[in-house]
Amino acid sequence: MKIYADNAATTKMSPAAVQVMIRCMEEDYGNPSSLYTIGQKAKETLELAREDVAAVINASPREIYFTSGGSEADNQALLTAAQIGKKKGKMHIISSAFEHHAILHTLQRLEKDGFEVTLLDVHEDGLVRPEELEAAIREDTCLVTIMYANNEIGTIQPIAEIGAICRAHQVLFHTDAVQAVGHLPIDVEAENIDMLSASGHKFHGPKGAGFLYVKKGIPVTNLIEGGAQERGKRAGTENVPAIAAMTEALKEAVANLEANTKRQLEIRNRLIEGILEIPHTALNGDAVKRLPGNANFCFEGIEGESLLLLLDDKGISASSGSACTSGSLDPSHVLLAIGRVHDVAHGSLRLSMDAATTDEEVEYLIQSVKEVVEYLRGFSPIWRDLMNGKKEFIL
Ligand SMILES: Cc1ncc(COP(=O)(O)O)c(C=O)c1O
């Protein structure tokens, strides 16, 4: 059996999105900046995509800037806010300790540039507390950037509350919604979001296409200088096939949101129930306030890497955390942020499921995880020490 259980890392493109991409490459291949018919056809496709994307988050088309993905959108949002802050002499930014590295590394760069960054604590349930955010806001705060849903443990932050606080204090609010767009209903107006990042490959669109929403009136800083594309804020010939395919995937995801969510919740809840039968195992993050497709566990006495390799032998593609940090021996900064100690954080498993997963696959997944954990514990020195009482169980 082959099971893809790593949809938070990336998703398979939907057949409809593939068709749109092929059609664009074969027919709408003109440069949208060209004046002749084929160019204008591509331009029309691009602008229709902008309208469709904007409608999904209740924005206006002029507030959407197409990018190469989530990382670029995150960088552009933060540099935009920093530029505005610098002009006003406001050099303080608030974020959280478990953001994606596209945010954390950009913040580190801004710190070198003289900004002061406050990283809010993430509690054991994987959530930031709005009251702690409010207490951290200062006269010189120019930006709050908090992710919509975490990419490792899937916890959904209280975005509307955070947005309301930022609006009341007149501080810009950006959210990295890469894991949320196409999976949760989002309304930038109702939630007082000033900037939002999204990425096509997380909702069955292609890699290399994403978008940044920036509320009207906020002057955008461009990362790439050159032509006047994207209203002069992102130079370079637009990737029309990928943008059109991303938009198709997004419309499909939103049209099926209710049904997909219902099915993902069934799958997720069964996975949690089945896998927590393994002794000394814990779910990471709140059991309810999490993405419908995300289940993330820590197993005591286990090395995450070996777990993944053995699951791969059984045909299961899963992850121990974010794809961007796998390969590094450091435990996940997200699991450390929610208070997991190093030993336990090393033994983590993220299963991120799409709605097409069958009941049979879910049972196979549970059975496989049980077998592999038991097998690995059989020769784990840490597990032996735990069993001999030389070490204390944490979970
Ligand atoms: C929360 C989050 N932000 C940003 C990114 C980066 O997106 P992209 O791969 O499109 O650059 C990811 C991708 O894993 C993510 O999960």
Query: In this predicted model, what pLDDT tens digit does every residue of 326-383 receive, in sequence order?
Result: 455 678 899 999 999 888 888 899 999 999 999 999 999 999 999 999 999 999 999 9
Tokens of 341: 């100690």
- Measured CA to CA, the distance from residue 27 to residue 98 in angstroms comes to 43
Rounded distance from Cα 349 to ligand 1 centre (Å):
19
Residues designated catalytic: 324
Does the structure show a pLDDT above 70 at 146? yes
- Pocket test of ligand 1: the residue of 78, 199, 325, 332 to mutate, having most ligand atoms within 8 Å of its CB, is 199
- Measured CA to CA, the distance from residue 100 to residue 259 in angstroms comes to 28
Which is more confidently placed, 110 or 321?
Answer: 110
Give the model's pLDDT for residue 342: 84
User: How many other CB atoms sit within 10 Å of the CB of residue 195?
Assistant: 28
- Measured CA to CA, the distance from residue 18 to residue 220 in angstroms comes to 31
Please report, for residues 10, 28, 121, 265, 321, the alpha-carbon distance to residue 200 in angstroms, rounded to integers and kept in the order given. Answer: 9, 20, 29, 22, 20
pTM listed for this prediction: 0.96
Contacts of 96 (CB under 8 A, 6+ apart): 119, 120, 121, 122, 128, 146, 147, 337
pLDDT in tens, 60-96: 999 999 999 999 999 999 999 999 999 999 999 999 9
Question: φ and ψ at 375, to 5 degrees?
Answer: -60, -50
Model confidence band, residue 5 (pLDDT cutoffs 50, 70, 90):
very high
pLDDT in tens, 192-224: 999 999 999 999 999 999 999 999 999 999 999
- Measured CA to CA, the distance from residue 254 to residue 260 in angstroms comes to 9
pLDDT in tens, 90-124: 999 999 999 999 999 999 999 999 999 999 999 99
User: How many other CB atoms sit within 10 Å of the CB of residue 178?
Assistant: 28
Ligand 1: residues whose CB is within 6 Å? 69-71, 74, 100, 102, 147, 151, 176, 178-179, 199, 210, 322, 324
Give the model's pLDDT for residue 156: 98
Q: What percent of the chain is modeled with pLDDT above 70?
A: 98
Architecture of the 15-255 domain = 3-Layer(aba) Sandwich (3.40)
Tokens of 385: 């020490």
In this prediction, residues 1-12 reach a mean pLDDT of 97
Nearest to 86 by CA among 172, 195, 196: 172
Edge-to-edge strands, sheet with 281-283: 281-283, 294-299, 348-352
Architecture of the 257-388 domain = Alpha-Beta Complex (3.90)
pLDDT in tens, 175-188: 999 999 999 999 99
Give me the residue spans of the domains in the chain. Answer: 15-255, 257-388
In this prediction, residues 267-290 reach a mean pLDDT of 97
Tokens of 102: 């596209």
Rounded distance from Cα 70 to ligand 1 centre (Å):
5
